[in-house]
């Protein structure tokens, strides 16, 4: 018995669900989960379907070819099929802050994050001991203004060498160049330490303190060319008061950042995030 995840989006129209579920049935499959969404404003249909195929002789390639001919072509679907057993390769970009790194590696080690982490890269050497203690290769790639081209080449080389599927910026604090974004469209996950779109850019906790907000937040989003403006995957908030200094806000925010980033990574790994119109559909 094999398990697959089917992700579909196309123009909203009649008969999509019936055609798709019928196809699965005819492949001797059983649908174990289906979630679907229609954006009525934009007239777009989204579906995420998990199924098991009883006929183990059906290969992924056969399914893909057949579904394309029988269903996808008719409805002009954008679609992808995932083998549930496959494990994605995730690269970690860090800087000097260690809390998100510890959190991700702890979840990784305990089996909560089903992913491979072939390497960690940083523009500083500070966090190398943590990478070492978890037995993960660590690369130091400095990123000054002068060396930025060289850094970008080195990053692309590492990403290619390790066959990386997606990138997580665990408080990396550096802007990702367009050439890397182009290779990983909606596959670079950032954690921003504010409730976006409030407090875009540097030092959001300082801005939050100055504005006197009563709640602070953290936002995980896909990186796009525009700073802190990519599709939001997950957000969370925590209540603060006048009694909290900037230092307190930063400490409170660390817990938010860890949980929001970990949640976004899990949604991405489980193929639960669909992107459109610079927004996300996140199936539960």
Dihedral angle, C-alpha 169, 175, 181, 186, nearest 10 °: 50
Q: Closest distance between a copy of itself and the C-beta of residue 80, in Å?
A: 18
Which tokens sit at 230?
């990519």
Inter-CA distances, 133 with 102, 136, 146, 220, 262, Å: 11, 8, 32, 27, 20
Stretch (H or E) spanning 132: helix 128-133
Count the site residues for a copy of itself by CB under 8 A.
67
Asked if 63 interacts with a copy of itself (CB under 8 A), we say no
Strand duo 138-140 + 120-122: pairing: parallel
d(CA 258, CA 251): 11
Dihedral angle, C-alpha 266, 35, 33, 68, nearest 10 °: -100
d(CA 148, CA 251): 31
Asked if 232 interacts with a copy of itself (CB under 8 A), we say yes
Answer whether the bond into residue 197 is a cis peptide, omega within 30°. yes
Q: Closest distance between a copy of itself and the C-beta of residue 192, in Å?
A: 12
Of the listed 39, 228, 236, 255, which one is catalytic? 228
Asked if 225 interacts with a copy of itself (CB under 8 A), we say no
Backbone angles phi, psi at 110, to 5 degrees: -80, 0
Q: Closest distance between a copy of itself and the C-beta of residue 31, in Å?
A: 5
Q: Closest distance between a copy of itself and the C-beta of residue 149, in Å?
A: 33
Q: Which residues pair with residue 280 across a beta bridge?
A: 275
Q: Which of 30, 66, 148, 152 binds a copy of itself (CB under 8 A)?
A: 30
Residues 111-170 that bind a copy of itself (CB under 8 A): 112, 133-134
Asked if 190 interacts with a copy of itself (CB under 8 A), we say no
Query: Is there a catalytic annotation at residue 179?
Result: no
Residue 2 or 254 with smaller CB distance to a copy of itself = 254
Q: Closest distance between a copy of itself and the C-beta of residue 60, in Å?
A: 21
The order of strands in the sheet holding 2-11 is 29-39, 44-53, 2-11, 78-83
Residue 52 or 152 with smaller CB distance to a copy of itself = 52
d(CA 35, CA 49): 6
Q: Which of 9, 95, 235, 271 binds a copy of itself (CB under 8 A)?
A: 235
> Catalytic residues, which ones?
228
- Residues making contact with a copy of itself (CB under 8 A): 14-15, 17-18, 21-22, 24-25, 30-41, 98-99, 102-103, 106-107, 109-110, 112, 133-134, 195-199, 210-215, 217, 231-237, 239, 241-243, 245, 251, 254-255, 259, 262, 277-282, 284
């Amino acid at each position: 018995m094999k398990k697959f995840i089917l992700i579909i989006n196309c123009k909203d129209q009649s008969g999509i669900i019936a055609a798709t579920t019928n196809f699965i049935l005819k492949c001797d499959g059983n649908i174990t989960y289906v979630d679907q969404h229609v954006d009525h404003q934009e007239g777009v249909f989204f579906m995420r379907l998990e199924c098991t195929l009883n006929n183990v002789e059906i290969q992924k390639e056969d399914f893909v070819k057949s579904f394309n001919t029988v269903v996808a072509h008719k409805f002009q679907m954008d679609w992808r099929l995932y083998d549930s057993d496959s494990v994605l390769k995730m690269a970690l970009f860090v800087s000097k802050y260690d809390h998100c790194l510890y959190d991700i590696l702890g979840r990784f080690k305990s089996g909560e994050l089903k992913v491979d982490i072939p390497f960690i890269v940083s523009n500083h050497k500070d966090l190398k001991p943590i990478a070492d203690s978890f037995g993960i290769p660590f690369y130091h790639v400095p990123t000054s203004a002068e060396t930025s081209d060289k850094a970008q080449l080195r990053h692309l080389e590492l990403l290619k060498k390790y066959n990386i599927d997606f990138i997580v910026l665990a408080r990396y604090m550096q802007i990702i160049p367009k050439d890397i974004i182009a290779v990983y469209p909606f596959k670079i996950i950032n954690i921003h330490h504010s409730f976006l779109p409030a407090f875009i850019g540097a030092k959001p906790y300082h801005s939050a303190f100055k504005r006197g907000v009563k709640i602070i937040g953290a936002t995980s989003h896909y990186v796009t060319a525009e700073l802190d403006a990519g599709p939001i995957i997950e957000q969370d908030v925590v209540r603060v008061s006048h009694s909290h200094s900037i230092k307190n806000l930063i400490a409170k925010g660390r817990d938010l950042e860890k949980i929001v980033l970990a949640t976004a990574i899990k949604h991405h790994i489980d193929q639960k995030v669909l992107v459109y119109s610079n927004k996300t559909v996140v199936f539960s």
